[in-house]
Amino acid sequence: MAKRTSKGNVQRESILDAASSLFVERGFPGTSMYDIADALGVTRTAVYYYFPNKEAILAALTEVVTWVAGQLAGQLAERKGLDPVDALRHLVVQHAKLIVSHPVQFRVVERNENHLSPKRREAAAKWRRAVLDHFTDVIKRGIGSGQFRLVDARVAALAIIGMCNWTAWWYKPTGRRSQDEICALLAELAVNGLRQEGARPPRTEMGESLRLLRKELAYLEQRIQDEPA
Amino acid sequence: MAKRTSKGNVQRESILDAASSLFVERGFPGTSMYDIADALGVTRTAVYYYFPNKEAILAALTEVVTWVAGQLAGQLAERKGLDPVDALRHLVVQHAKLIVSHPVQFRVVERNENHLSPKRREAAAKWRRAVLDHFTDVIKRGIGSGQFRLVDARVAALAIIGMCNWTAWWYKPTGRRSQDEICALLAELAVNGLRQEGARPPRTEMGESLRLLRKELAYLEQRIQDEPA
């Protein structure tokens, strides 16, 4: 996420962060606009300046973790020429990055969607479906090109998205791995999990094939030497 | 999970199921013992016969998705001789199976842990750590044996557990894939995601190596034929 610089946006973000923490601690029904203002050390008027009510705060949080996720996945899907392996790697990195940089917000949204208006709930469901569709399409393309194994693309997409989403329950900024390291590991797990055994990049070099031949010959040679005389 | 047959256990399970659905719909604070009895079409006394209060119901639900998960993982860990690849496959299948067969319960527990007593919360945390430790150990063993890639075993374990846990948010009994199919796919994603490229099973057959050689030769042959004359 791009850093926002204007003072208004910084204050708006502070309200969203403070509200997220309170919603997780006390639940959405148990948190008031006064509590949020109190946690920030500002007046209620200052909070009302940005959000007319608690539901608007929850809606803004939902927007971050659903609308933004949908937008990000959509932008990548537009890059049609992208190799499916690279596309999946990018999709995982950017989705995971969104979650690990908003873990509390993500959990708040997951828990409190029933407090959103039906219209906003439907919008959130729509953006989630868009993310799932983009992941599914990329996996289908990879199966089509022979780079990914023949699996149920939708179930695989749900599994991979789940791996990203669950980071909201375990990622700690104080942990020994950075956000980037975690996202890269998740992407490699996803890509390798699907990759066809022995699959080559689309434009395979014959040199790569020769390398494999040499490797297997060396292995056989070793095994023959290891044989008891 | 083994099917329970005695009448008491069936009624106890019905109470847990009905309570889970209500806790998800109305929240834990918004659900009373009366609501649970009402949803089942029984008297409050019938519910109180099995559980002294709502917190005991939540504790029983927590036990299913944390204590049982810990026990299952622990039983597998005791089978020391098990190959790390097979062990990870089993761990994923049984953990995923537990979640897809209790999705609502799992979500209830995730959302309401703050309503448990500190002692029970600590017990749940302990069982979750046990599951994480078992997954981490198996991955470490696989790295040690050269079957898995060199990754942060703990982060990889969290990613794989997350993939299983998130099924609670998307698995539908009416979906086109069975629980077993989904669990098998998750296990293959996890195992392949970690597997060392070109890694062979511990007792490699030379026949497998010859198969690879023949495959590469066929590929080179094909490429030479494809070359423009």
A170 → chain B, closest CA residue: B158
Largest Cα span, chain B: 88
Chain A contact probe: residue of B170, B172, B204 with most A CBs at under 10 A: B170
* Range with the poorest average pLDDT among B45-49, B112-116, B175-179: B112-116
B175 → chain A, closest CA residue: A155
Residues of A in contact with B164 (CB under 8 A): 162
The pLDDT value given to residue A2:
39
Torsion of CA A84, A87, A92, A98, to 10 degrees: -160
Residues of B in contact with A193 (CB under 8 A): 188-190, 192-193
What is the rounded CA–CA span in Å between residue B53 and residue B32? Answer: 9
Burial of A91 (0-12, 13-18, 19+ CB in 10 A): buried
Contacts made by residues A217-223, CB under 8 angstroms, sequence distance 24+: A217/B213, A219/B204, A219/B209, A220/B206, A220/B209, A220/B210, A220/B213, A223/B204, A223/B206, A223/B209
Q: Tell whether B212 is covered by a domain.
A: no
Q: What is the mean pLDDT of chain B?
A: 88
Tell me which residues of chain A, numbers 36 to 95, contact chain B at a CB-CB cutoff of 8 Å.
Answer: none
What is the rounded CA–CA span in Å between residue B147 and residue B145? Answer: 5
Chain A contact probe: residue of B163, B179, B188 with most A CBs at under 10 A: B163
What are the pLDDT digits (tens) for B88-98? 999 999 999 99
Q: Tell whether A1 is covered by a domain.
A: no
The pLDDT value given to residue B77:
78
Residues of A in contact with B185 (CB under 8 A): 151-152, 155-156, 159
What is the rounded CA–CA span in Å between residue B61 and residue B109? Answer: 7
**Alpha helix ranges (H) inside A41-195:** 44-50, 54-62, 68-77, 84-100, 103-112, 118-144, 153-165, 167-170, 179-194
Domain holding B19, by residue range, is 7-199
CATH number of residue B52's parent domain: 1.10.357.10
Q: Which of B162, B195, B216 minimises the CB distance to A166?
A: B162
Whole-prediction pTM value?
A: 0.82
What are the pLDDT digits (tens) for A191-227? 999 998 765 444 456 776 777 787 778 777 777 776 6
- Based on the structure, what is the number of domains in chain A? 1
Q: Tell whether B131 is covered by a domain.
A: yes
A122 in B contact zone (CB under 8 Å): no
Burial of A80 (0-12, 13-18, 19+ CB in 10 A): exposed
How would residue B229 be classed by pLDDT, with cut points 50, 70 and 90? low
What are the pLDDT digits (tens) for B197-219? 765 444 456 777 777 787 778 77
Mean pLDDT of B144-172: 96
Residue that is written with structure tokens 């040199």 in the block: A207
A158 in B contact zone (CB under 8 Å): yes
Mean pLDDT of B31-50: 94
Q: Tell whether A56 is covered by a domain.
A: yes
How would residue B151 be classed by pLDDT, with cut points 50, 70 and 90? very high
**Separation in Å, CA of B46 to nearest CA in chain A:** 30
The pLDDT value given to residue A202:
45
ipTM of the complex: 0.81
The pLDDT value given to residue A8:
77
Q: Tell whether B147 is covered by a domain.
A: yes
Main-chain phi, psi angles of B44, to 5 degrees: -60, -35
**Separation in Å, CA of B18 to nearest CA in chain A:** 19
**Separation in Å, CA of B137 to nearest CA in chain A:** 18
More confident site: A2 or B167: B167
The pLDDT value given to residue B203:
40
What is the rounded CA–CA span in Å between residue A10 and residue A5? Answer: 7
How would residue B227 be classed by pLDDT, with cut points 50, 70 and 90? low
Mean pLDDT of B146-157: 96
- Taking chain A (229 residues) in runs of 10, the rounded mean pLDDT of each run is 62 92 88 95 94 94 90 85 94 96 92 89 94 96 95 98 97 94 98 82 61 77 68
The pLDDT value given to residue A215:
76
Main-chain phi, psi angles of B50, to 5 degrees: -95, -35
Percentage with pLDDT > 70 across chain A: 91
Q: Tell whether A2 is covered by a domain.
A: no
A223 in B contact zone (CB under 8 Å): yes
Residue that is written with structure tokens 């969203």 in the block: A16
**Separation in Å, CA of A39 to nearest CA in chain B:** 20
More confident site: A217 or B178: B178
More confident site: B8 or B15: B15
Mean pLDDT of B181-193: 98
Q: Tell whether B217 is covered by a domain.
A: no
Q: Tell whether B80 is covered by a domain.
A: yes
